[in-house]
Structures are given as C-alpha cells and as structure tokens.
Chain A
Amino acid sequence: MAKSPVKASALRMVNVEKYFGSVCALKKINLEVGHNEIVGLIGDNGAGKSTMVKILTGVFPPTSGELYIAGRKVDLRSYNVKQAHAHGIETVYQDKSLGEKQVLWRNFFIGREMTLPFGFLDVKKEKEIANEIMVNTIGFRGKGITVDSRVSKLSGGERQGVAIGRAMHFDAELIILDEPTVALSLKEVAKVLNFVHKIKEAGKACIFITHAMADVYEVSDRFVIMDRGEVVADIAKKDISLKALDEFLLEYSHGMKDKAER
C-alpha cells in the first residue's frame, strides 16, 4: 500500500456497516486511502459503491463503524454535507454536481458563497476566483467559455472539469469521483482523465468510482473491488496488468454467478 510515512492516510473506514431496515447494504467495510493516492473503486451495480459515497459525503450516517479523515476521527452523529466539506471531502457526481441552467461562477460557490453583509453575494470576488480556477487550476481553454457561461453550454467532460476544479479549489483532502465518465464520448473521457491527473499533481487523494476498467486503470495507484456490499479485493497497480485485472473481474463475476446458481 502506498502509504506515506509522514502524512496520515487521507481516509480510513473501519468496520463501516449500513443497513436499510433489515437489508444490509455495506458489510464491515475497511478501506484506507493514502495521502496523494488515487484509488480506483470498482464494482457492478448494487455493489454498494453509491451507499459508500453517500456515507463519506455525509448524505446519511452509517449504521456502525468509524471514519477517520486525515487521521482525525469524525463524529458521525453530527456529520453532514457541510461537515464533509469542512473536513476536506469533495464529491464529483456523474450528473448532479452542477446546476445546469446556472452560470459557472454561481456553480463554483454554491453552498459556500462569499458574502457581503446581510447575505448579499460578493459577485465580483466570486467571478474573479472562478476565472482563476478555470484558467489556472483546470486549464480551461474551451472556446467562448467564460465564468458567465451557463453550464448547459458545456460538454460533459468540461462539466466534470468544472466540478473537479471546484473540489481542488476548496482544498479537498480527498476528492471522490462518482462514475464521472459514464455517458461521455471517448474524447470527453480523455478530458476527465486529464483532470484526474491534475488531482494527483496537486498532491490530493482521490477515490475514482467506476465500472469502466480501462478508464480507471490508467490513472489509479490501487484498485479496490467491491461486490454485494463487501470489499473483495485490494490490489496495487504494480501487481496487476489491465488485462489481468479485467480477467480477474470477469472470473470473479462468473464465479459469483455460478455460486448463486448452485
């Protein structure tokens, strides 16, 4: 495991479980993400990936277990989206990170507005910083795209770029990418992977959730494979080739299928 000796791991989940009524969605999850490590989290639909994301980002609490962010233990009773942001966890969703009809500068600061007295927005400052993020952090060279453009004018890859840039600006310890390349063309996927490289360069950690193997292989340092609410494998990139990983997953899903039929 690529754990840095000086810095505490970005994230540690200890025996996290989640039940919805009597249905067990997550079973004793133990997961660690090192400092500046990019972890590819792979699993089929229903593997428990989104449940895990929602716990990490404070949408709902786990039934039991412990959560450490940058070495600090998180009080799960008071944990919510704002707390997650304060702890440095930022999430980029497949399709619900940005308000489509809104202009870009609003999207950068929604939920964390820079305000003047009485709650009025400091539009000038927000636009300045938004422009700074677009040009310097995410290197936007999109034609005719400014901070006043509406999100609906952006391509799918550009949208993910904005969401990733926003996450990086707010000094995230850990950026969670929840299936960021689903429904994108190959060209747009390449753009998103480029943004993920920037996360690594900036010294941040990242969980890249997907079921598209080829995308995640290129950018990840380590792979965690989930199935039916459990972590079933944890493999460093140097120990496995893309082909072997692919075969492993195929075998695994067939194996499970056989077992189920038996």
Chain B
Amino acid sequence: MKQRTSLFGFLGGIEGLAVAGVLILLYAVLIITATPVFTGYRIYMSFLQTVPPILVCALGLTLVITAGEIDLSFPAVVALSGFIFAWVFKNFHSPLAPWVGFILALACGALVGYVNGLLVAKIGVPSIMATLASQFFWYGVTILLANGLQLDIAGVTTNIVHTIFVGRVFKVVPMQGFWSLGLTIFLWFILNRHKFGEEIMFIGDNANVAQVMGIDVAATKMKLFIWMGVIAAFAGLLLTLEINVFYPTQGGGFLLPTMAAVFIGGTSIAGGLGSMFGTLFGAYIIGSLEAGIVATTISGYWVQLMEGLVMAASISLNAVLAAGNVSNFSTRIQRWFKPMRANHNGEESQKDDTVSR
C-alpha cells in the first residue's frame, strides 16, 4: 500500500525540520539586521558555549514530558552537581579527583532523580508538585553544603576533564557543542528505537493502555526520573567546567528557557510524542534570541517582547504541521486549486468515516 504523500506531509514527517526552518529564518533575519556580528564566526562559537547546558537539560526534559510528567527540580541538580564537582576538585589533589568528582556529581543527579521517582511513581504525588518541592529542597541542600559561598576552581582549566568536556577543538569550537549534539542523537535513539523510549511514549499516551499491555509503569517512571537527574547533573558539570566557578544559585534561570526549548521543539505537553531534534533547534532558538536582539542595536527593552513573538510563532507552526493537521492543511490547499477533483478522491470518503465515528 503506497500512501499518497504531499510535499507538506513529507516535510512535516521529518523530525524537527519545521523548527530548524525557524532557526534558519531567525539567523537570516539577524544576519540582515545585525550584519557585523552575525557574519562573523565568534557569535556562533559563543552560542555553542552558552546553549549546551540548557540544551542538555531540555533533552532530558523532552523524555519526561513525553511520558506525560514534568520535572521542575533540574535547576537545583545543575547547582548540586556543580558544587559536588567543585568541592571534590578543590579538596583533593589526586589526579583522579576530577574524575571522582565528575562521577559523584552524576551519582548525586541519580539520587535526586531516584527521590523524585519515589515521590511520583511509588507514593503517587503529581510530578509538578513533587519536583517543585524537590527543587527547593536540593537548592537548600546545596546552599547548606556550600555555606552559601561560591567555589573558584580556576585550576581546572589545565585539567584533562576540562579539555575533554569544554575544551576548544582547533582552539575555536567548544567541545560541549559536540557533547550536547551527541547526547541529542543518543537520546533520539533511546526514545525512538529503544524499548525504554517506547514505554515512555505509551505511558505518556495512555498509562492505562501501557499497564494492560504489561508495562511496569511505576518502574519505568522511576527509571525516567533517574535518567533526568543524571542528564541535569551533566548539564551542571558542563556549566561549572566552562565558567570555572561554582555559585550556589547556578541553574536558577534555566527553568523557563529549558521548558520553552522543549515546547518550541514540538514536543506535545499532552505527552505521548517527543522530538529530540526539535528540542535541539528549540534550544538554539531560545539561546540565540537575547544576544541576537541586543546585537541588532534596537533597545534592550524589546528583548522579551521579541522572545515572546518568536516562541508563539514557532509553536503555532508546530501546531499546524503536527501529524493530522498536515494532511488537512495540504488537502485544503489542493482543494483551493482543484475544487472538483478533491470531492471525489479517496481521502474524502475516509473523512466521512471519521465524521460518522
């Protein structure tokens, strides 16, 4: 059976393409309006350095939102993991210390995720409340442990961990750009080609169906929150390594941009479907807006207004191109051009079925 595919249907089927289009359009506009800045390579290198921590969080959050849950606690994990690494690095001078700190930081992320999972999957607290409480709690823990002080780890710049994760390839391209891209591809495979990802999609789609088909819903959610914790901890590590300092409120501004990146990327708030590449481009849209608008030399007061506009536009585009709307949209266009033929083709009779349902 060959399905009649329209151009719109075909393009809409490529994951993240619409969002990529918005990103390219955004850069095109910025190249015209802020020519000196956006024709040089430096601004792009700077995006590759500032966007990855948010992108990494957003990738994890894409999994969580696909499962029909939410995690608000990841900003606290960004702070906690940064602290763990910085503290171990400062207090131990063995050459292994940075690696131990790195692993410990990821383990702490897993711990936070585990506690979130217990609250949500075992006790049954709605995830928005459980993880909100958890955000407060773990920020509190971090501030207590750090005595409210920042930790300067300038010495890390010569360390191999620094080189591997946030070094510069050919002295220009930030490594974290590659790590976050690699994670995007890896998590795409997990979500779309792995048992775990399929379970996540079915749980987000309809937890009852998942249960009667033999999925252990509670265990899968548990696993999911642990993944989210580890991924957020990795984001915290990228951030702390890049800026060579831990500060107790780090990650504080991450929540809204991260969620915006996921939704701009086309992941449905209703759960069931998630788009990793959409999130990738969404994060770069969010991360490029502020610097971009400032570079156009229009007043800084415009920044938020423009951000809101671009977000609304890309989310609307996603809604139009979302599965189901694509074919409606393209048949509508065909009907404008060939009103008589459209009334007699197969899709019309199928529509009748839909109505009678």
Contacts and interface: CB of A to CB of B under 8 A. Distances in A.
B194 A101 contact: no
A100 interface: yes
Contacts of A231: none
> Top 9 nearest A-B pairs by Cβ distance?
A111-B214, A111-B213, A101-B272, A99-B205, A81-B214, A96-B208, A119-B195, A99-B202, A82-B214
Interface in B88-137: none
B212 interface: yes
A contact face: mostly helix, strand, loop, or mixed = loop
A155 B353 contact: yes
A102 B205 contact: yes
Given A102-B272, A106-B198, A110-B209, 7 more contacts: A81-B214, A93-B212, A99-B209, A101-B205, A112-B214, A119-B194, A121-B193
Interface string A135-170: 000000001111011101101100000000000000
A15 interface: no
Nearest to A155: B353
Contacts of B349: 143
Interface of B: 1, 3-4, 189, 193-196, 198, 201-202, 205-206, 208-215, 268, 272-273, 323-324, 346-347, 349-350, 353-354, 356-357
B214 A113 contact: no
Nearest to B206: A99
A144 B195 CA distance: 27
13 contacts: A59-B212, A81-B212, A96-B206, A97-B213, A98-B209, A99-B205, A101-B201, A110-B210, A120-B193, A120-B195, A144-B1, A146-B1, A152-B324
Interface in A164-193: 185, 187-188
Nearest to B203: A99
A49 to B, nearest CB: 16
Contacts of B357: 155-156, 185, 188
B194 A121 contact: yes
A interface, size bucket: 35 or more
Contacts of A57: 212
B205 A100 contact: yes
A91 interface: yes
A101 to B, nearest CB: 4
A38 to B, nearest CB: 22
B196 to A, nearest CB: 7
A233 interface: no
Interface string A102-125: 100010001111010001110100
A112 B272 CA distance: 19
B75 to A, nearest CB: 29
Contacts of A91: 212
A59 B209 CA distance: 12
A35 interface: no
Contacts of B208: 96
Contacts of A85: 214
A127 to B, nearest CB: 12
Main secondary structure of the interface of B (DSSP, over half): helix
B215 A110 contact: yes
A153 B324 CA distance: 8
A113 B324 CA distance: 26
Contacts of A121: 193-195, 198
B169 to A, nearest CB: 29
B354 A155 contact: yes
Contacts of B212: 57, 59, 81, 91, 93, 96-97
A103 B259 CA distance: 26
Most buried by A among B202, B272, B273: B202
| Candidate in B194, B195, B208 with the most chain A CB atoms within 10 angstroms | B195
B167 to A, nearest CB: 29
A153 to B, nearest CB: 8
A113 B195 contact: yes
A90 to B, nearest CB: 10
Contact of B201 (A102, A145, A148, A153): A102
Contacts of B196: 119
B203 to A, nearest CB: 9
A121 B255 CA distance: 33
A96 B346 CA distance: 29
A102 B356 contact: no
Contacts of A101: 201, 205, 268, 272-273
Contacts of A150: 323-324
Pick from A59, A111, A153, A188 the residue with the most CB of B within 10 Å. A111
Contacts of A144: 1, 3-4, 346-347, 350
Nearest to A187: B356
- Among B212, B268, B272, chain A packs the most CB atoms within 10 A around the CB of B212
Given A81-B212, A146-B3, A99 B201 contact: yes
Contacts of A99: 201-202, 205-206, 209-210, 272
